[in-house]
A and B are shown apart, each in its own frame.
Chain A
Amino acid sequence: EDQVTQSPEALRLQEGESSSLNCSYTVSGLRGLFWYRQDPGKGPEFLFTLYSAGEEKEKERLKATLTKKESFLHITAPKPEDSATYLCAVNTGNQFYFGTGTSLTVIP
């Protein structure tokens, strides 16, 4: 069964404390992996697309990487404004599968 699992469910970091969020997937035929940021009461905001193992994308303090079985979203020296829920989604060409997200809180 195709599945996307994100861990941890929640993460609390001190400002400046770097960490990583994980998105593992078991799908037949990955056609793309997407990361989103979602603020409370808002729709998800697109961050990155990764298409093949070994690919990396960066934006400010965020860096996304992809292997054949998982993706990591690395957050370097986070700030309180990085607090949000981060979602990953996997595209098989026929379906989009979303994970349940990691709720990140960055404490000043």
Chain B
Amino acid sequence: SQTIHQWPATLVQPVGSPLSLECTVEGTSNPNLYWYRQAAGRGLQLLFYSVGIGQISSEVPQNLSASRPQDRQFILSSKKLLLSDSGFYLCAWSLGSLQPQHFGDGTRLSIL
């Protein structure tokens, strides 16, 4: 069966510091991968998605970037964090664009 791992679970970072969140999927090949941010009472906002290695689509202009160095690895990065980057970040995978997405347990990011 497929599993998705996301880490760290919580992270506290100072403003202006860099960020790297990692997500890996096991038990499947060539999944679609997604990064979301979830703000309280505002639903999930799609940040990036990828249909293959090195292929990244950005949904929202922002202070973040994503990379997919391996088939089942998805990384969310920032060079300099802003206060507004605080939130709950979720990684997800699916077998195709019409298939349900399956989520990791998220990273709670707090910027001080």
Contact = CB atoms under 8 A, between A and B. Distances in A.
Interface of A: 4, 31-32, 34, 36, 41-46, 49, 87, 89, 91, 93-96, 98-101
B33 interface: no
Interface of B: 6, 41-44, 46, 90, 92, 97-98, 100-106, 108
The majority secondary structure among interface residues of chain B is loop
Contacts of A89: 44, 101
Contacts of B98: 31-32, 91, 93
A32 to B, nearest CB: 6
A43 B103 contact: yes
B105 A43 contact: yes
Contacts of A100: 41-43
Contacts of B44: 44, 87, 89, 98
